[in-house]
Amino acid sequence: IIFQFYEQFDATMYNGVLGGLALPLVLQPLLFPSSFDNSPDGQRVWWERYSTKANLWIAVYSFIGNYWYTHYFYSVLKAEYTMPATRLNNVPIAMTFATHFYFSSYHAFSNSLLRKVETTFESGILRRLLFIAVVITFSYFTAFMETLTISSFPYYTFEDRDMAYTIGSAFYAIYFLVSFPAFYYFDSNVDNVDNKGKITLWDTFISSCGHGMVILTLLDFVRLWLRIPLVLKISDS
């Protein structure tokens, strides 16, 4: 974004560049399962690796978010993508690729923070309250910083940018209020090499879909409270 290379992009270039940025994350479970750090994943078959399941969880979440949640931004915040794009349900497909590597980063950071809370402090009500406070704070911080940093990209616009920074960030934070703890807990056996009580790929898929539905419902509750109609426009491409 800083160097404005996107000014030369057509729809195919957007797909290629953003897909290429997501590809290393997708290939990591197959090519570097141990992550050069003696990860238990190095001793597991590929479909039992945490990194495989984490990729699937984020991929499903990214698809749901772009296919459905984006329309809430269109309707509530009057957001719009105007760059050349191959679209599905009037959302640029390239954004699903971008969401995968963005959300992978966000959830890696949130997992580190939540794990730090749970491994540093003794179990009890105070640790639980701290855990909740970290989820809320990091959710809003993540949403606000993405909204702020993407503001220099001229092909994602808002009718009222100040509203997007404040109310919009809180609206966006709903995603992470659900997904940060959900992603943290979805496979609690990540450190067990023998994978006792293992979570399967199907379990992972269902977990992501279920929490995706929770987020969708919460977004719709906010839309109803604001008394804003949800309008889904079907694109031509």
Per-residue model confidence (pLDDT) at position 3: 66
Distance CA 173, CA 161 (A): 16
C-alpha torsion 86→88→90→96, nearest 10: -80
**Alpha helices in the chain, H assignment, sequence order:** 11-31, 50-64, 70-76, 93-120, 125-149, 161-163, 169-185, 201-226
DSSP letter at 180?
H
Distant-in-sequence, close-in-space partners of 105: CB < 8 Å, separation ≥ 6: none
Q: Give pLDDT tens digits for 58-74.
A: 999 999 999 999 999 99
At residue 103, the 3 state secondary structure works out as: helix
Q: What is the CA radius of gyration of the chain?
A: 19
How high is the pLDDT of residue 68? Answer: 95
The SS3 of residue 40 is helix
How high is the mean pLDDT in each 10-residue block of the chain (237 residues)? 78 95 94 82 89 97 97 91 93 96 97 96 95 97 90 84 84 97 90 72 97 97 93 71
Whole-model pTM above 0.85?
yes
Q: What angle do CA 9, 14, 17 make, to 5 degrees?
A: 105
- Three-state DSSP at 87 gives strand
